[in-house]
Amino acid sequence: MDLKLGECFKEGKLQEHIARSSQAAKKFLQNFEIVPEKLTKIISCVESHHGVPEFSCLEAEICANADCYRFLHPRGIVSALILRGRRNESTDNALAQVEKKMDEKFSILSLSTCKEELTPYYNMFKKIIAEAK
């Protein structure tokens, strides 16, 4: 889903990563015989993984929730903190940015199972970050 995230990060154009990833996916998928309905769903998954007011298909909703799940699970949050540390960010900035990303991902969750499983982790890390500030 984030095919072009690294490229956009290096260029300082993170806001373009969804559009660029969509374009790259479309180009790549041209090499395969995929029926238009399935192709539309695949591209919707790429384009909607950061959440949208209304998902165009169940597959896109599942992909968006899976993306959030990956980040909001303790391993994802700890990995994000480690990554920011490797970038030599200050502790305060790393905590603020990870908390912001946690809030973004938590707000996208729409599937009850994901919310139920991730809410305790989300609340735990919110408390830890508040204590660490």
pLDDT at 55: 92
pLDDT of residue 83: 95
pLDDT in tens, 115-129: 999 999 999 999 999
Angle at 114 between CA 108 and CA 120, to 5 degrees: 95
pLDDT tens, 5-60?
778 688 888 787 888 888 888 999 999 999 999 999 999 998 887 778 789 999 99
Residue showing tokens 């919110």: 126
Q: What is the pLDDT of residues 75-91, one digit of tens each?
A: 999 999 999 999 999 99
Query: Contact at 8 Å (CB) between 37 and 59?
Result: no
Query: Does the pLDDT value for residue 1 go beyond 70?
Result: no
The pTM score is 0.84
Tell me what pLDDT residue 74 has: 98
Residues 9, 21 contacting (CB under 8 angstroms): no
